[in-house]
Amino acid sequence: MTLHDTMSDVDARHLTKGVVVSVSGVTKQYDSGTRALADVDLDIAEGDFVAVVGPSGCGKSTLLRMAAGLERPSAGSVALATDSVGFIFQEPTLLPWRSVRANVELVAEIARLPKSERRTRAQRAIDAVGLTGFESQLPRMLSGGMKMRASLARTLTSEPEVMLLDEPFGALDEMTRLDMQTELQRLYAERGFTAMFITHSVSEAVFLANRVIVMSARSGRIVADTRIDFPYPRHPELRYDPQFTAYVAEISDTLREARQ
Ligand code: ADP
| Interior angle at CA 37, CA 35 and CA 43, nearest 5 | 165
Q: Are 14 and 78 in contact (CB under 8 A)?
A: no
Which DSSP helix (H) or strand (E) runs through 52? Answer: strand 49-53
**Last residue of one domain, picked from the residues 119, 135, 159:** 159
- Reference 188, options 231, 218, 150; nearest CA is 231
Q: Does the residue 89 lie in any domain?
A: no
Which 8-state DSSP code applies to residue 55? -
How far is ligand 1, taken at its centre, from the CA of residue 37, in Å? 9
| Banded model confidence at residue 103, pLDDT cuts 50, 70, 90 | very high
Predicted confidence (pLDDT) at residue 222 exceeds the cutoff of 60: yes
Q: Does the residue 188 lie in any domain?
A: yes
Q: Does residue 20 share a domain with residue 46?
A: yes
Q: Does the residue 203 lie in any domain?
A: yes
Average pLDDT score, the chain: 90
| Domain count across the chain | 2
Q: Does the residue 14 lie in any domain?
A: yes
**Last residue of one domain, picked from the residues 111, 138, 159:** 159
Domain residues for the domain of 153 are 95-159
How far is ligand 1, taken at its centre, from the CA of residue 136, in Å? 38
Q: Does residue 67 share a domain with residue 178?
A: yes
Model confidence pLDDT, tens digit, residues 30-67: 999 999 999 999 999 999 999 999 998 899 999 999 99
Cβ of 66 less than 6 Å from ligand 1: no
Cβ of 56 less than 6 Å from ligand 1: yes
Q: Can you tell me whether residue 6 is helix, strand or coil? A: coil
Cβ of 155 less than 6 Å from ligand 1: no
pTM, whole model, 2 decimals? 0.90
Q: Does residue 79 share a domain with residue 101?
A: no
**Last residue of one domain, picked from the residues 159, 182, 211:** 159
Model confidence pLDDT, tens digit, residues 147-192: 999 999 999 998 899 999 999 998 888 988 998 899 899 989 998 9
pLDDT of residue 185: 92
pLDDT of residue 172: 85
Q: Does residue 243 share a domain with residue 114?
A: no
Q: Does residue 225 share a domain with residue 146?
A: no
Predicted confidence (pLDDT) at residue 7 exceeds the cutoff of 60: no
